[in-house]
Structures are given as C-alpha cells and as structure tokens.
Amino acid sequence: MFEKVLERVNKNSPLLHCITNYVTVNDCANIILACGASPIMADDISEVEEITSICNALVINIGTLNERTVSAMVKAGMKANKLGHPVILDPVGAGASKLRTETISRLINKVKFSVIRGNISEIKTVYQGSGTTKGVDADIKDIVNEDNISGVITFAKSLSERTGAVIVITGAIDIVTDCNNSYLIRNGHPMMAKITGSGCMLTTVIGSFCGANSDNILDATAAAVCAMGICGELAYEKLAKSDGGTSTYRSYIIDFMSKMDAKVLNGGIKIESR
Amino acid sequence: MFEKVLERVNKNSPLLHCITNYVTVNDCANIILACGASPIMADDISEVEEITSICNALVINIGTLNERTVSAMVKAGMKANKLGHPVILDPVGAGASKLRTETISRLINKVKFSVIRGNISEIKTVYQGSGTTKGVDADIKDIVNEDNISGVITFAKSLSERTGAVIVITGAIDIVTDCNNSYLIRNGHPMMAKITGSGCMLTTVIGSFCGANSDNILDATAAAVCAMGICGELAYEKLAKSDGGTSTYRSYIIDFMSKMDAKVLNGGIKIESR
Amino acid sequence: MFEKVLERVNKNSPLLHCITNYVTVNDCANIILACGASPIMADDISEVEEITSICNALVINIGTLNERTVSAMVKAGMKANKLGHPVILDPVGAGASKLRTETISRLINKVKFSVIRGNISEIKTVYQGSGTTKGVDADIKDIVNEDNISGVITFAKSLSERTGAVIVITGAIDIVTDCNNSYLIRNGHPMMAKITGSGCMLTTVIGSFCGANSDNILDATAAAVCAMGICGELAYEKLAKSDGGTSTYRSYIIDFMSKMDAKVLNGGIKIESR
C-alpha cells in the first residue's frame, strides 16, 4: 500500500540533516543510506541553518544532549520550519532528567514538529511535561497492550491535536496517528529491544521517508514504521537459522533495510486503520 | 562458580549510567544490553546527578575526555558515592597526556571507586601519578608474564589498599584483586587487542555485573572478566571456522555475550585464587 | 609494487592521532588496527600537542567539527608540523557550510598537510575556497570520468603545488598526485558509497601508511587507496555469494583490511601512472 512512498524515496534520494546522539549515530547514518536517503550530521550552531537549508528534512534526537547542542537543535528546527521541511523529534529519555524534560518543552514551544516518535513513557512525558521514564526504556506500568490501546490512541490523538505532529508510539504494538486517522502496526520483534538504537534508527527512517514525501507525512511515517518492523522480523528469521546473537541481529536489520522494496513491504505489512 | 552473580544480573536487569568516550560507546551500549543490563549515556553536568540517581551503577571512561565532560564525571561520581552505587573507572590512556594523568588524580581524590580497570601501563600511571603509556595500549616493557606476576599482584593490592577499589589489570593474564584476595584469570584471546573497545566493553560488563551485585564487587568483577574472556575465545573459535576478520570478530564477541549463561561460564572459566 | 610500504606498517605499527567525527570514529579506529597501526582519538586542546608528540602521524577530519575541536585541530596540526609528522586532512562536507569552508582555509593557512583526501566536490572547494557540495557526497555535475580526467589531474596537481600536499580525489576513478607524478587507481566498488565512512576510513588508512612511510608519502598514499579499493572489491565478491546487505558489507571491508598482505595487494591492484 505504500509503493508510492518508497518510490519517491528512491527517486529523490532525500538528504537528511541529523542532530543526534553519539551512541547510535553510526547505525543511524548507515540505515539512512540503506533506506535510500543520504545523511549529514552537523551540530555546531554556526552551521546548522545552512546545513538544514541544503537538506530535505531534519531529525532532532536528544539522546546525548548538552547545552551546546540543544541551542543548535532549536536554531536548526526553526530554520527548517521556515523552509517547510519536515522536522522529526526523538525525545530519548524524556522524563529521566529535568534537562531532558525541559528541553522537550523548549523544542516544542519553538519548533513545529511533523512527527514525534518515542516509547510510551517518553511520549507521556512529552504530553505531561513531566515523567518517570526508566532511563531510555519504557516504564513497565506504561506498557501498551490490547486492553488499554484505545485509551492510548485517544491520548496520542490529543497530543497530535495540540502539537500538529504525527505521533508515533513504538512498542509491542506501534501506534501512528494524527488528530484524525490512526494506524496500528504489529510488525517488529521483541529482540529489537536487545540492541541499542532500534528506536533512533526508526526515527531516521521516518525522517528519510518524510523528506521525500512531505505532502503525506502520516503515510510516510507509517510506511517507515512497517519497514523497520519487517526488517526486525526478517533479521530474526535469518538469525534463528544461524547461531548468531544480538550484534549480528543489529547488522541483519540494516542489511534488510538496504534490500527493502515494495514487494517485501507489502508481503510483510501488518497494519490496521482505526 | 559465579552462578549467583549472573542470576542477579538477569533478575535485576540493572541500569548503568555511562560517561564514556565516543569511539567505542556503541559497542559498550550493545554489550551492556547483551549481558542483561540496560545502558544510559549522559554527560551534561546539569543532568548527571539525576541520571545516576535512577541507575544502579556508574561507569566513568576517560577515553575522549574534555573539560566539560571531566566536570560531569566528578559530579556524577560524587553523587553515586552518596547513593552507595558502585562506580567503575576506566583510565583510558592514563599517562599519555598531563590532562589524562591529572584527571585520574582529580577523580580519585573526589570519588571513591569500586573498581578500577586498565592495562598494566594505565594502572601503573594511576598508582604513580605519572606514566609512559603508549597511547591506549600497554607499554611493552610493562607486560605482565608468569615471571613478574607476583610483583604485579603485590603492587595491585597496594593500590587497592590505598583506593579501596578492586583493581583489574587486563592483559595476557588478567589480575582481579582487592587488598586481601586475588584472582588470576587466563581467559581471552590475543585477537581481542586487534579490535577497538575490548577494554571499554569489559569495563561496562563489570559495571553491569556490579550494578546487580553491589554487595560482592570482587566476585562480580571476576565473573565479568571471565565472561568477557570466554566470549573472546568462543568468538575466535567461530571465526577460525569461517574466513572472517577483525570486524566479524568484534561482532561475534558481543553475540556470545548475549548468549552467556552459567553453563557456558562454568564450562570455560580459567581462574585461580592467589 | 608496494611491498615495502606494507612491510614498514607491519614492522613499525605506527601510532595515529585522530581528531575526527563521531559518526564514523569507531570504524576508523577498527580499520586502523586492521591495517596494522594503532589509533588514539583525542580532541581536547589541552592535550592534543602531547598526544600528537607520542604518535607517528595525525589525521584531521572535519565531519562533525565545532568551535572547540577546530581550535584543537589547528594546534595539533602545528605541533605535528614541528615534529615532522605527516598530517592528513579529510575536508568532509567542505562547501556545505561557511563554517566548513572557512575551517579548511584556516587549517591550510596554519598547517602544512602531507595529504588531502576528499571527493571531487570537496577538493574543488578546498581549491576555490567556496563550493557546492551536496552534503557529504559529490555533486553530480562534478563527477570524474574518462573524458574529463586529464583536466581533473591538472587541477589536482596545481592544488598540490600550492599546498605541498599529495592530493587524493576519490570516486569511480581515484586520483593520487603530487605536483609531478600521478596515479590513477581503478580499484573499489560502487557499493562503498552505500555505507557511511568509506572515505573517512580510507583517510585513516592513508594516515597509518604515511605514519610508517613518512619519506615516501606519494607511494604510501597510493598503496592505501589501492588496499581500501581491493577490500571493497573482495567484500563485494563475498557478499554476492551470501544474501547480506550494506551492514555486512561494511564489516567485510574491515575484515579484508585485517587480512591484507603484499600478495593480496599485488594480485588486485589496478593502478596506472600518468
């Protein structure tokens, strides 16, 4: 169903400006290339406006934020807004410190985001302006399941309404919603939580897809979530046939993204409109 | 012999705060997850106290230190001390510059470490307050062997007495000692020196194990050293059957850590009490 | 033809000081070890002179530059010049922002480089002091082919004359030239452009080879370019027999570098003197 989204990524090969953490930055750059886009990482305040100007979209990830880079994030975000570029936010560890929670508020006040993607605890913190994130993972009491999912969708829709962003809550079931339409996506594999960066990487795939599909952010985002989840599944299948572990698994995920096409995507997609 | 150590890591899934270098940080995050713990990297001085408060242990690695991060290391270390969390030091390249050697002195004066792990040249620098480290590798004239090992243990014990930390000297033979009891560990493989980060990764595995075993730092540390060494051996065996090189080897080490259990550990352990 | 270059790398195991970007730094450290040298990454201005003093060569890569690290680059470069160490420049993204273009000018004014390596757009920017780089990739209108290559060599020679550096322009055909002698190298594979860091890694292999062959920079550089290209080819051959993707490909490149020797190099080399 997302043939056109993929087609435009491959045709336009969007350039993606990332201000991101130094933990998963290499994996992010590689998966951006793997999915058909091209990355440039630049975080000095004196160049971020120029860099974002030559790009098609901007990803802001606060994973290893500091005072210097937060200012650069705000400046780059405002410039991208002026240019009409999609801006994607990954609020890593929102709720784990005052700095993170306040940075999110500052960013959301200054920058209009096209997409905000996090786990349920991070997104709750974005919503409430405070939170109880356990480090960079979701709090157990927040976990989304079939029983509470309607409530979570309602909450995500209201955050979308307030921010104007497509909201993505990833977990066992992924939610992608704007203020009107929602997708539930059941792709992915639990082993993705055993490697660092599966969330960060997804955010950059979303950025890549949105960079080439800025007129259809909801579908571009949903396609990226499905593609990443399918890669997690295919990587697990391949791993199960060998005797590898988590590092090989990480590598396989990026491998499968580099071979993703409409046929694989449509063959594996588990999506439901709500 | 370390079943209980492993069991508690798996049961408690400790959260580990790392202030570490940007060279090996991704491998560190992945091996922390692989060994059953969970990482959070955060180095901004305004958040490190809060971040360390939600964690179970702190790892400080000076590999790519700068003025900004050194202050954060001191602050985080003092907070972790107040909370009674294990704090682990990796004095990467101590002796290679005045900044590194002085930072080590500053850290040791302000922070009580539970474990200090380095190669022989780094640990000598920690002891003497000066050194001749060849970059980040051990000086050849310092190499530990069967002939000089008694002297090295005596020296390590006296550093333990002075600092209160378990001292770990890694090399062909690994030494783990407090001021009373010592372990010699003969696990590992020379090829581990051909990848970056085997030392840094070990330090974070020690941090993970100590985070779940803060009442038994010596055994938690020895278990981590054995586990890492066994992964190096298993990875080499697997590599020898294929035609891979150092990058595949690195990946296999993390893979085997993600599959480590009491059976593998006990089957491979080469440890001697002294 | 480059047996002696390789022999000296293996015999001397040069220590390489890198001030480099945080995107590809881990791959750089691993390929430095793989090719027989040893890396130390250090970017704090208060230690870079000491660190460079214990090393055999210095690599400066501006991929994620900021005000703090640019000052460290200048200081380290000037010190390395005083010591007679080879200094290698990788002008990542030169032309993509005023900061990058001006930093290049500042570096070239203050530091004498032994080698400058970039894609054609980056090297044009170095030459002109302005440019139109598309992020970190070459601009399509700049692409070097058999028709325009004579002109590109002439331009590269004149940049070499002005700077005193060996100039390396990498692309489908690689050019290595000083003001008198040129090599054209046709090793490599297009898939190298689908991973991040193939350029950065090559620059550090050049630095490693030059660190052990400071009396023959042109040949050391050409040997490094050939070696990297051959690794790209061998990795592709191996990948084609399996069903891997870009992440596995990246790993194979480093693997093959760790197994590079005179026989493999001479068997695969595609070089032409001009």
pTM: 0.97
Strand, coil or helix: C100: helix
pLDDT > 90? residue C217? yes
* Contact status of A233 with chain B (Cβ, < 8 Å): no
What is each CA distance from A215 to A8, A218, A228, B199, in whole angstroms? 11, 9, 21, 48
Average pLDDT for chain A: 95
The closest of A84, A85, A62 to A73, measured between CA atoms, is: A62
| Mean pLDDT on C146-150 | 90
Structural domains of chain C in order of their starting residue, each with its CATH number = 3-273 (3.40.1190.20)
**Are C21 and A41 inside 8 Å of each other by CB?**
yes
Percent pLDDT > 90 in chain C is 91
B91-127 pLDDT per residue, tens: 999 999 999 999 999 999 999 999 999 999 999 999 9
- Calpha distance C168→C65 (Å, rounded): 21
pLDDT at C132: 64
What pLDDT, on the 0 to 100 scale, is given for residue B144?
85
How many angstroms separate the CA atoms of A99 and B43, rounded?
11
Cβ–Cβ gap C15/B250 under 8 Å: no
List of chains touching C (3+ CB pairs within 8 A): A, B
- What is the chain B residue with the closest CA to A28? B26
pLDDT tens digits along A70-110: 999 999 999 999 999 999 999 999 999 999 999 999 999 99
Type and span of the H or E element at A154: helix A149-163
- Answer yes or no: is pLDDT of A139 > 80: no
Q: What is the pLDDT of residue A145?
A: 87
* pLDDT per position as a tens digit, C178-187: 999 999 999 9
Best to test chain A binding among B30, B31, B66, B231 (most A CBs inside 10 Å): B30
pLDDT in the model for residue B138: 73
C242 vs B: CB within 8 A: no
For residues A215 and C111, give the distance between their C-alpha atoms in angstroms, rounded to a whole number: 47
Which pLDDT belongs to residue B267?
96
pLDDT band at residue A112 under the 50/70/90 scheme? very high
ipTM above 0.90 for this complex: yes
- Residue range A230-251: average pLDDT? 96
pLDDT at C72: 98
Of residues B155 and C137, the one with the higher pLDDT is B155
Whether C248 and chain A come into contact, CB under 8 Å, resolves to: yes
Q: Which helix (H) or strand (E) holds C28?
A: helix C25-34
Higher pLDDT pick, B144 / C164: C164
Least Cα separation, residue A269 to chain C (angstroms): 21
Task: Specify the residue for token string 């460290």.
Answer: C72
Q: Which stretches of chain B score pLDDT less than 50?
A: none
A248 touches chain C (CB under 8 A): no
Which of C27, C135, C248 lies nearest to residue A38, judging by beta carbons?
C135
Q: What is the pLDDT of residues A40-71, one digit of tens each?
A: 999 999 999 999 999 999 999 999 999 999 99
**β-strand pairing of B115-119 with B57-61:** unpaired
How is C101-163 classified by DSSP, letter by letter?
HHHHHHHHHH---SEEEEEHHHHHHHHHS----BTTB--GGG---TTTHHHHHHHHHHHHHHH
Question: Given pLDDT bands bounded at 50, 70 and 90, which one contains residue A219?
Answer: very high
Whole-number pLDDT of residue A136: 66
pLDDT at A63: 98
Give the dihedral sign, CA C233/C237/C238/C239.
positive
Residue B129 is predicted with a pLDDT of: 83
pLDDT at site A132: 64
Cα A74 to the chain's mean position, in Å? Answer: 18
If you average pLDDT over every residue of chain C, what do you get? 95
pLDDT recorded at residue B132: 64
Name every residue whose Cβ is closer than 8 Å to that of residue B187 and which is 6 or more positions away in sequence.
B174, B225, B226, B228, B229, B230, B232, B233, B268, B269, B270, B271
Residue A217 confidence (pLDDT) = 98
pLDDT of residue C196: 98
Interface mutation target, options C255, C259, C260, chain B, most CBs of B under 10 Å? C255
CA distance linking residue A120 with residue A128, whole number of Å: 12
In terms of CA atoms, which chain C residue is nearest residue B23? C26
